[in-house]
Amino acid sequence: MFNKKQKQQDCPYCSRSGNCPGILLRINHPVEDRMVTIERENDSYTFQEHYFSHDEYEMCWIPLKNNSLAICDSPDTALREAIGRVDWLAEILNQR
């Protein structure tokens, strides 16, 4: 699914339009303000689920800490871990 030349996704954490070096893939929920990112950290990979806060003092993506403690050897493994732990993700990917 991933290749080494794959372009990285825009950063969900900052307002710049460029890419963040750690984000490899971003999957948005089509209805809810939810997102999963596949990220590279040093020589390992992980995933993170985020929600968008509409609070007037935040208005940003906030990581959920409830399910993303996976440290994986590849981005494909991180995606499989995310599919197994984020209940809405498998359904979204099956619709594509």
What is the per-residue pLDDT for 12?
54
Give me the domain span that covers residue 41.
Answer: 23-95
Residue 15 maps to a domain: no
Provide the number of structural domains found in the chain: 1
Alpha helices in 1-96 (DSSP H): 75-85, 89-95
Domain assignment present for residue 11? The answer is no
The DSSP output letter for 17 is S
pLDDT in tens, 62-83: 988 766 678 999 999 999 999 9
Write the DSSP symbol of residue 20. -
In this structure, the chain runs to a length of 96
Angle at the Cα of 38 from the Cα atoms of 35 and 42, rounded to 5 degrees: 140
How much is the pLDDT for 94? 86
Closest of 45, 52, 83, 91 to residue 67, by C-alpha? 83
pLDDT in tens, the chain (96 residues): 555 444 444 555 554 445 566 889 999 999 999 999 999 988 899 999 999 999 999 889 898 876 667 899 999 999 999 999 998 999 989 876
Could you tell me if residue 51 is inside a domain?
yes
The rounded distance, in Å, linking the Cα atoms of 37 and 13 is: 11
Query: Given this model, what pLDDT does residue 22 score?
Result: 83
